[in-house]
């Protein structure tokens, strides 16, 4: 919104969640003296009433976590456009950034599309492609690439619409993919999988929700992963070493080094502090609540 206001656009109003997710937008709207609305749900009747009063020409959506009722789409005279952090029709759904990394892809991007009835199915207005670095996490990719690029893309989309040059390119349904939200139902680490699969899951879930395993009977989330390809004669999931550089875990094809861990609902801490807190030993196994008979104190 800030960029649009700076460019002289007439922002009729802002809708954002009433919790902390909308805090930054609330502060900005109040500072710019833009009418602000914080409904619990976009389907609330008063939202439609406010839409009618505002009479917007164009509605912009970005990182929407609620379902936009169909009748709201008919209010703006030009239409509604939405930012989505993938190259649609790939990775429809709420966790597009996570899944591109989890699935080991080396490029992704963003799409500005015209909102219709389906989930992320509307015609494409524009797209931008970016590389996924071999060490990129979901958080890094969002904050350092897709967020700033998305701001510029939305502004570009508005300019195209104002100039009458905005396309409506149908999505190729034969290429469409949809993944579920990236939450604890998919974030558990299976140490029987390949080193690449484990590494991609951990960085794809970093920082949210945090890929997890169990250690010493605790649910532990893993962050800041590095991958080392080398022959390893330890069973998958076994703790090989813990030092300032990280906790090294044996997997098929090498070692996964973990830089930060978080147990239960605690804070992220370093590997040495974690090992001392839970009495972790070399030879302990991830995913096992009992200690290995070969354990050695670290």
pLDDT tens per residue across span 36-81: 999 999 999 999 999 999 999 999 999 888 889 999 999 999 999 9
Q: Do both 57 and 101 map to the same domain?
A: yes
Q: Do both 205 and 234 map to the same domain?
A: yes
The answer as to whether 18 is a domain residue is: yes
State the residue for tokens 């003296």: 33
Q: Do both 115 and 206 map to the same domain?
A: no
Q: Do both 246 and 169 map to the same domain?
A: no
pLDDT in tens, 18-30: 999 899 999 999 9
The answer as to whether 125 is a domain residue is: yes
Q: Do both 169 and 199 map to the same domain?
A: no
Answering whether pTM is above 0.85, one says: yes
Q: How big is the chain by its Cα radius of gyration, in Å?
A: 23
3-state class (DSSP) for residue 257: strand
CATH label of the domain that carries residue 67: 3.40.50.170
Instruction: Say if residues 285 and 292 touch (Cβ distance below 8 Å).
Output: yes
CATH label of the domain that carries residue 281: 3.10.25.10
C-alpha closest to that of 36 among 4, 28, 62: 28
Say if residue 56 is exposed, middle or buried (CB neighbours under 10 Å; 0-12, 13-18, 19+): middle
Q: Do both 160 and 83 map to the same domain?
A: yes
C-alpha closest to that of 202 among 266, 244, 247: 247
Instruction: Say if residues 237 and 287 touch (Cβ distance below 8 Å).
Output: yes
What is the total count of domains within the chain? 2
How remote is the C-alpha of 280 from its chain's centroid?
Answer: 31
Instruction: Say if residues 146 and 130 touch (Cβ distance below 8 Å).
Output: yes
3-state class (DSSP) for residue 117: coil
Domain span at 53: 2-175
């Amino acid at each position: 919104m800030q960029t649009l206001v700076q460019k002289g656009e007439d922002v009729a109003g802002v809708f954002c969640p009433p919790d902390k997710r909308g805090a930054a937008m609330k502060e900005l709207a109040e500072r710019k003296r833009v009418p602000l609305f914080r409904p619990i749900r976009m389907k609330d009747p008063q939202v439609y009433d406010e839409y009618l009063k505002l009479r917007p020409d164009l509605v912009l959506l970005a990182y929407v976590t609620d379902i936009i009722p169909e009748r709201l789409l008919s209010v703006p005279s030009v239409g509604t456009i939405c930012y989505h952090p993938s190259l649609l029709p790939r990775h429809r759904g709420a966790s597009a950034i996570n899944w591109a990394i989890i699935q080991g892809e080396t490029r992704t991007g963003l799409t500005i599309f015209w909102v219709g009835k389906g989930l992320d199915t509307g015609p494409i207005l524009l797209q931008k492609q970016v590389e996924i670095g071999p060490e990129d996490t979901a958080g890094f990719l969002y904050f350092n690439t897709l967020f700033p690029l998305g701001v510029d893309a939305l502004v570009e989309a508005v300019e195209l619409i104002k100039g009458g040059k905005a396309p409506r390119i149908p999505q190729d349904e034969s290429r469409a993919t949809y993944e579920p939200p990236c939450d604890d139902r998919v974030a558990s680490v299976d140490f029987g999988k390949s080193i690449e699969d484990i590494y991609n899951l951990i960085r794809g879930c970093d920082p949210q929700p945090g890929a997890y395993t169990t250690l010493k009977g605790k649910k532990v989330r893993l962050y800041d992963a590095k991958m080392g390809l080398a022959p390893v004669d330890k069973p998958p999931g076994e703790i090989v070493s813990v030092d300032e550089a990280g906790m090294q875990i044996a997997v098929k094809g090498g070692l996964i080094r973990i830089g930060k861990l978080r147990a239960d609902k605690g804070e992220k801490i370093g590997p040495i502090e974690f090992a001392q807190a839970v009495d972790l030993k070399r030879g302990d196994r991830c995913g096992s609540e009992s200690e290995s008979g070969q354990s050695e104190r670290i």
